[in-house]
Structure 1
């Protein structure tokens, strides 16, 4: 009696390198922790401020990595113009969606919007104060009007950030459950099944050494920038 024929696992190609994945999940965790520390168990908001600084470091790292990182992490590789976005939507509506190894034309701009909103939320936090015990790192060097304005915007941006995060999560879940691309799995393990993609496959990784350099520069930009501006980088 012969056994069933052995089948080799489907080939996979690199979609997201390790630094890109670590940046994404670190940012997601830090945003969640910032929310928890704002409302639970952090009366002086010390951890909340450290969360904000860490978020800025990850955002700055991601900006650097978008210039020198892996092929699917680079802005030049996934930021496309309006016509590319319209073609993608048209193909999607016709039931013949284009499949991308990295971000699709709409997803790329959602990523940029998320980075922009997260950065704005963290930056305004540097200038906020409750006039009692909480003072942001940059409050000693700006006017009361700037502090009041930053505090207002820090609260005002929050619902928009939550809405965009919700849209991003829902879209990724929908693609993973009903589409051909399991985006969540790919962002965890870094690979996608080998297939015909609209962008280059496999992805080219950016390299750990380059990532560590970008991280070091990001720490220097955030903490050094606050210190050079006369603020207190250590809550």
Structure 2
């Protein structure tokens, strides 16, 4: 692992606060539901729209919580530079738990990528006009006709990116569980995690 360790023995600490844990699980359910409705739902997408509005609120909460929330939730506590990312990646495939105190440097990139894609997705959904006279974004009239039509394609692209990021997220969780013998789900349920302070 990277340098600066102040302890070599893992200790069980309260890491994730209840609001962050609630945000995580509610967002997961809503994103999956919105994605499924977008791909397989009825012609009238009113529920898809309302899920999108709720996701906007959740993303806004996460951005605010990333500034004023408890230390582990703050972006300044887990967003690292290239050196830390490369240093962590060097040891990622070792068959032992990382005991990382929060989002590791690679996990931080995942958090930022998902937030960025969700902002993209709700933004394009708000201005999209699929020309079906039903599922017009509430802000479609605020942009040019060409932009609102292009936003439909951008929204479909965002859905594909979300699918890729979610599948990658699940794959990494499985990798940590079965290769590194580290359970990343339990801490997001209970808030408690075994860590080595760095």
Greater Cα offset, 170-179 or 38-47: 38-47
How many residues align structurally? 188
Matched, 1:37 2:37: yes
- The separation in 2 between residues aligned to 1:24 and 1:96, in whole angstroms, is 26
Q: Is the 8 A contact 1:173 1:184 kept in 2?
A: no
Instruction: Name 1:21's counterpart in structure 2.
Output: 21
Give the distance between the partners of 2:98 and 2:191, measured in 1 at CA: 20
Q: CA RMSD in A?
A: 2.0
Deviation at 1:100, TM superposition (A): 1.1
Distance 1:13-1:48 versus aligned 2 partners, 3 A rule? same
Give the TM-score of the pair, scaled to structure 1.
0.74
Map of 1:131 onto structure 2: 131
The structure with the largest alpha-carbon Rg is: 1
SS at structure 1 position matched to 2:71: coil
Instruction: Indicate conservation of the 8 Å contact 1:129/1:135, yes or no.
Output: yes
Tell me the CA shift for residue 97 of structure 1: 6.7
Following the alignment from structure 1 to structure 2, what is the Cα–Cα distance between the partners of residues 36 and 96?
A: 36
Separation (CA, whole Å) in 2 of partners of 1:18 and 1:104: 20
Structure 2's unaligned 5+ residue stretches are 1-10
Mapped partners of 1:44, 1:96: distance in 2: 49
Matched residue, 1:77: 77
Report if aligned partners of 1:88, 1:97 keep a CA contact under 8 Å in 2.
Answer: no
Question: CA-to-partner distance for each residue in 1:161-183, whole Å, 9 max, x for gaps?
Answer: 21111111110122123324311
Aligned to 1:55: 55
Where in structure 1 are there 5+ consecutive unaligned residues? Answer: 1-10, 199-235
CA distance in 1, matches of 2:187, 2:65: 19
**Structure-2 change in CA distance of 1:97 and 1:37 (3 Å):** closer
What displacement does 1:143 show? 1.5
Q: Does the residue aligned with 2:127 lie in a helix, a strand or coil?
A: coil
Partner of 2:149: 148
1:164 corresponding residue in structure 2: 165
Per the normalisation by structure 2, the TM-score is 0.87
List per-residue Cα deviations over 1:140-198 (Å, max 9, x = no partner).
222101101211111122222211111111101221233243111111111113x4233
